[in-house]
């Protein structure tokens, strides 16, 4: 039985957009990827002097839930 899932991905190191794209592609191996949100930038908290995060939400279906 397939279950709907919503996953949140984020990266603040290296090629952030490429890392998000790679994460979405990796998810496709275990789930049917449906909608993907636009990319949001978020200010880091805690440790100073680090790059902003890029975040994305992924909606899909999987039997792994």
Confidence grade of residue 65 (pLDDT, cut at 50, 70, 90): low
Q: Which run of H or of E encompasses 6?
A: strand 3-11
Domain range for 57 is 3-62
Confidence of residue 32 (pLDDT cuts 50, 70, 90): very high
Q: What is the pLDDT of residues 42-55, one digit of tens each?
A: 999 887 789 999 99
Is residue 58 within 8 A of residue 4, CB to CB? The reply is: no
Q: List the structure tokens of 33.
A: 């990827």
* pTM for the whole structure: 0.86
Report the pLDDT value the prediction gives residue 6, as an integer from 0 to 100: 97
State the pLDDT at residue 48.
76
Write the burial class of residue 33 (CB in 10 Å: 0-12 exposed, 13-18 middle, 19+ buried).
middle
At residue 14 the predicted structure's pLDDT band, cuts being 50, 70 and 90, is very high
What CATH code is carried by the domain that includes residue 24? Answer: 3.30.70.560
Report the number of distinct structural domains present in the chain.
Answer: 1
């Amino acid at each position: 039985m397939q279950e709907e899932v919503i996953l949140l991905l984020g990266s603040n190191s290296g090629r952030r957009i490429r890392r998000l794209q790679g994460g979405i592609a990796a998810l496709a191996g275990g789930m049917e990827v449906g909608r993907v949100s636009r990319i949001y930038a978020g200010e880091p908290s805690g440790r100073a002097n680090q790059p902003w995060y890029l975040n994305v939400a992924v909606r899909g279906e999987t039997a792994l839930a």
